[in-house]
Amino acid sequence: MSPLTTLRCALLLLLAGETATAQVPRCTTPAPVSATPPATALAVADSSQVFTLANLLAYVLLRHPVARQAGLLPARAAQEVRFARGQFDPAVASKYAGKTLGGTEYFHDWDTQLRVPLWLGADLKAGFERGTGAFVNPENYTAPAGLSYVGVSVPLAQGLLMDERRAAVRQAQALQGLAEAERRGVLNKLLLQAAKDYWEWTLSYQRQELLRQNAELAAVRLGAVRERVRQGDLAAIDSIEALTELQNRQAQLVQARVQWQNATLQLSNYLWNEQQQPRELPAATVRPQPLPGPADWRPLPPDSLAILAEQARQLHPELQKSRAKLTQLGVEDRLLRNKLLPKLTLDYHLLQAGPPFGAETGVALNSAYLQNNYKLGLSFAYPLLLRQERSKLQINALKRRDTELELQQDAREVQTTVRTVANDWEALRDQLRLQEQVGQNAERLRQGEQTRFGSGESSVFLLNAREAALVSARLKLAELQAKYAQTQATLRWAAGGIEYED
């Protein structure tokens, strides 16, 4: 493995793992996703377990309707290629015309042909024709045994290097690349939104836990304050202060529980079973994985920005779609340029009397036979002004230029997005470190105030204020942790998306 590949693998592992419990993509070619999620992902929604981000993405990739819709795009593109290749299928055609009037047989005209299109533009032909009767067209007249032939039709100018059949196949093949890019784009957006909603769900759980602990602490303090009031150590007004604080914290906890329930319902939108029936996460028994802790606040490796930018340039779905469009327009340009040539077609048939598999089939293919048993045709057509052909060529050139400019703009925006999200990553790391220190300082102040309150040098009001500042600092830290995890997912998306595996 080259040093650049090693560095890229380390970067992908860093971008993939929000915490040590999350699954990470391997630095290999992604294997096809299995038909069912992992067993842990299937059971976790119905048991008291941690529902990880990897579990969620397993459901999303395999069972979400949007992901299944995206999976139909490559299959549809493959059928488009198959349809285009159908123009090269051999074809058998047969026609018969006869007329009898007043007992007189005017004519019997029968022609059967096998036509085999070739990729090089020519058509191989073999057939049998029989024209008899008193009034048959002399051009179609044959001996009663009929006439068999084998031949070829070759375009000598227009259609020699490119024709509608080959152009349709090439454009359909380019459509496969376009469909794959669209599939990746749809999945990347879906995975990004799912990851963001997951971390919002995790944040709501963390907020609920912090406020629950805060309310329990207020309930314990109220009991202690009331006891001290009864003993005469505190004024009766302090018990009202403690009760009011408890009620405020309980009201905050009620709101946090509603937010947790709503976030759980929002996350349940991504869960479907094998029968395409929606599933719901049981909020009472399932909890999320922890928010990224200090061990996960890692800096981007050296040269990672250049690697991400290069990955985005190669893999980003929007850029791949523009390149596929350019490929299609390039094929159309070749076809339109070929249309400027004259239509010059050579048809040659080698003839043989009788049916092709009759008793006298064997013939000596010498020069005398070839010179006296053939039908030759040459057709020519050429518009004098070529206004339609030239205008179509210019329109295609304008479309190509428009797509090239769009590709340039999209490439610039993709590069800017990667750098912007990387900057957010680094800024959030600094904010997390600072906020962690703010929380530690708030904890020290609360402990000091608790000591002063125990010795009668402080009041319930000041102690509540210190605890409110501590809870606020911890909530702010949790919000930054969730935003940091969302930024990791956004950076994956900005770099073109990384396929998740089981």
HEC string of 455-473? Answer: CCCCCHHHHHHHHHHHHHH
Distance, CA of 188 to CA of 191 (rounded, Å): 5
Q: Identify the CATH assignment for 34-63+169-328+401-494 out of 1.20.1600.10, 2.60.40.10, 3.40.50.2300, 1.10.40.30.
A: 1.20.1600.10
Q: First and final CA of the chain: distance in angstroms?
A: 24
What pLDDT was estimated at residue 366?
A: 76
Question: Which residue stretches of 232-284 are H helix?
Answer: 236-268
193 burial (CB, 10 Å; 0-12 / 13-18 / 19+) is: middle
Phi-psi region of 74 (alpha: psi -120 to 50; beta: other; left: phi over 0): alpha
Q: Which amino acid is at 272?
A: W
Distance, CA of 238 to CA of 251 (rounded, Å): 20
What does each of the 502 residues of the chain score in pLDDT, given as a tens digit?
Answer: 443 344 344 444 444 443 333 333 334 333 333 333 443 443 444 445 889 999 999 989 999 999 999 999 999 999 999 999 999 999 999 999 999 988 888 889 999 999 999 999 999 999 999 998 888 888 888 888 889 999 999 999 999 999 999 999 999 999 999 999 999 999 999 999 999 999 999 999 999 999 999 999 999 989 988 998 998 888 899 899 999 999 999 999 999 999 999 999 999 999 998 888 898 888 778 899 999 999 888 888 878 888 888 889 988 999 999 999 999 999 999 999 999 999 999 999 998 888 775 545 555 667 788 888 889 999 999 998 899 999 999 999 999 999 999 999 999 999 999 999 999 999 999 999 999 999 999 999 999 988 988 888 888 889 989 999 999 999 999 999 999 999 999 998 998 875 544 3
Give the SS3 label for residue 30.
coil
Residue (of 188, 174, 187) closest to 77 by Cα position:
174
What pLDDT was estimated at residue 38?
A: 43
What pLDDT was estimated at residue 146?
A: 87
- Report CA 75 to chain centroid distance, whole Å: 13
Distance, CA of 351 to CA of 128 (rounded, Å): 10
What pLDDT was estimated at residue 360?
A: 54
Give the number of other CB atoms < 10 A from CB of residue 140: 18
Tokens read off for 37: 């999620």
What pLDDT was estimated at residue 32?
A: 34
DSSP label of 31: P
**Domain ranges across the chain:** 34-63+169-328+401-494, 92-168+329-383
What pLDDT was estimated at residue 22?
A: 37
Cβ(500)–Cβ(23) below 8 Å: yes
